[in-house]
Amino acid sequence: MKKGFLQLYLGEAALLLPTVKGLALRASGAGLSVLIIDGDELAEPFKRYDVIIIQNCDLIQQEVDKDVVKNLVRSRPLDAEMVLCGTSFDDEIMEMADLISEVKFILI
């Protein structure tokens, strides 16, 4: 069984949306099943997806509970890729991540 990686995408929502949509499009094109949900829709079962993208995770940490995101990461399917998007994350969540990407707008 392959190990599902945990990725964190940090940045403003307007920049993260095209980033995760591109990731979802590439995964879908490779034949993987993809779920994109907003942080307030966490009741969705994750077990049948290869790639799980959760947007606005920082809002969950601020408004609901930091432990919700930690438990979500710990309970993810072991063979699924999970991508959490937000402006910032708890240190413990950052330590669990396999990859952390900061998305910025750069004026050239």
> What CATH number is given to the structural domain containing 63?
3.40.50.300
Ranges under pLDDT 70 in the chain: 1-3, 40, 42-46, 59-65
Share of the chain above pLDDT 90, in %: 35
Residue 108 lies in a domain: no
pLDDT at 21: 92
pTM value is 0.84
pLDDT at 88: 85
List the structure tokens of 103.
């998305």
Residue 30 sits at φ, ψ, to 5 deg, of -90, 5
pLDDT at 1: 39
Calpha distance 34→27 (Å, rounded): 7
pLDDT in tens, 51-75: 999 888 776 656 556 777 788 888 8
Q: Which amino acid does the sequence have at 20?
A: V
pLDDT at 4: 82
Residue 67 lies in a domain: yes
* Short-list 107, 60, 67, CA closest to 88: 60
Count of domains forming the chain:
1
CB 46 within 8 A of CB 80: yes
CB 32 within 8 A of CB 2: no
CB 72 within 8 A of CB 83: no
Calpha distance 68→79 (Å, rounded): 21
Print the domain residue range for 96. Answer: 6-102
